[in-house]
Amino acid sequence: MPRNRLVPGVEVVTVPGRGLAVRTAEGEFLSVRTGAADESALLALLSGAGTNPTDEEPRRVVRAFEAAGYLAEEPARPPWPADRRDIRLLGDPALTRPLAAHLAALGAEPRAVPAVTAPEGAPVGMDELLDGDPAAVVWCLDGPVPDGLWEAADRLPAHGVAWLRCHREGWQAYVEPLAAAPGDVTSAHVRARRLAATPAHRELAAYWTGPRTTGAPVPLGLPAAALLAALLADDLNRWATGTPDAAGLPARRRLRQVDLRTLTVTEHPVLPVPAVAPTPKAAPPSGGSPTPKTDG
């Protein structure tokens, strides 16, 4: 039977001359009024090492910790479900290799596919993406996304396959939202939102289309690749096990930008782009047929 103990991120510290204080998951310090409770016994209770108290004072403090959400049963790590273990990895080995290692350690069964690693390659068709009936497809590019490359992959959620991707543009890398159901954010939605959010939309569109003149290539170092792989693996693990997001934006509505020079991660909310309804045709005037236009 799991015992009650402090939830991850919450810690209790003894402050000289002031008693106990709790450090919350948000990094704030709060004083603990222990009353007549024995502090050593109380610390044992909060760590899950003590037995149920019989005195009222320690029970009062424990109830206060429970009410604040600082105390819970020790959670068991949810296993990776068998029907979601098959993860297909496409893209650059510099990113797919560390991602495969993370996923295997979490209980998934990643399959790297080296045949479609080149960004300039022809777009991959749906039959190739669905080959082997994967639970999810992840595509990692060490460069910008060529026009049309992910067009077929954007339809994976409609086939019951989760869709996750990342790419690099110079010193900036982008981890796009995981799409797991029809109506989730696709790569086309992200491109449309990014174009709408910048006054340099013509320049950004030209950058994506190419060609681009570059000097020395931006190196994708091991720490940067490991960070990107860890972010992708965490998103996949939360999707597979149903683990809720602890903080920040929901994974399926979040675009993350990673500065590869400082490894700083910035989150941006992103929503699907609604389908545009066709422009209705004008009805002819009542009681007659439309009059054709004439020049002059």
Helices then strands, each counted (H, E), the chain: 7, 12
Banded model confidence at residue 284, pLDDT cuts 50, 70, 90: low
Residues 118 and 40 reside in one and the same domain = no
- Record the tokens describing residue 293, joined without a space: 């236009």
- For residue 57, the model assigns a pLDDT of 80
Q: Is residue 64 part of a domain?
A: yes
Mean pLDDT value across the chain:
86
- For residue 203, the model assigns a pLDDT of 93
Residues 227 and 159 reside in one and the same domain = yes
Residue 38 makes CB contacts below 8 A (sequence gap 6+) with 58
- For residue 231, the model assigns a pLDDT of 97
Residues 92 and 58 reside in one and the same domain = no
Residue range 65-83: mean pLDDT, rounded: 83
Residue range 18-30: mean pLDDT, rounded: 91
Residue 137 makes CB contacts below 8 A (sequence gap 6+) with 87, 88, 90, 129, 153, 156, 161, 162, 163, 164
Residues 67 and 114 reside in one and the same domain = no
Residue 295, pLDDT above cutoff 50 = no
Give residue 38's domain range.
4-73
Question: In degrees rounded to 5, what are phi and psi of residue 53?
Answer: -75, 150
Residue 294, pLDDT above cutoff 80 = no
Most confident of 37-41, 110-114, 198-202, 245-249: 198-202
What is the tens place of the pLDDT at every residue in 221-242? 999 999 999 999 999 999 999 9
d(CA 257, CA 254): 10
- For residue 2, the model assigns a pLDDT of 44
d(CA 122, CA 115): 11
Q: How far apart are the first and last CA of the chain?
A: 90
Residue range 94-110: mean pLDDT, rounded: 96
Residue range 74-84: mean pLDDT, rounded: 83
- For residue 49, the model assigns a pLDDT of 73
Q: Report the percentage of the chain scoring pLDDT > 90.
A: 57
Residue range 178-205: mean pLDDT, rounded: 95
Residue 124, pLDDT above cutoff 90 = no
Whether 20 contacts 13, CB under 8 Å: yes
Q: Is residue 283 part of a domain?
A: no
Residues 156 and 173 reside in one and the same domain = yes
- For residue 150, the model assigns a pLDDT of 94
* Long-range contacts of residues 57-60, Cβ cutoff 8 Å, at least 24 apart: 60/35
Structural domains of the chain, count: 2
- Record the tokens describing residue 108, joined without a space: 């998934």
Give 248's strand partners: none
Residues 140 and 263 reside in one and the same domain = yes
Question: In degrees rounded to 5, what are phi and psi of residue 225?
Answer: -65, -40
d(CA 194, CA 205): 10
Residue 3, pLDDT above cutoff 80 = no
Residues 40 and 167 reside in one and the same domain = no
Residue 81, pLDDT above cutoff 50 = yes
Residues 177 and 39 reside in one and the same domain = no
Residue 164 makes CB contacts below 8 A (sequence gap 6+) with 136, 137, 138, 139, 176, 178, 179, 232, 235, 236
Most confident of 7-11, 38-42, 152-156: 152-156
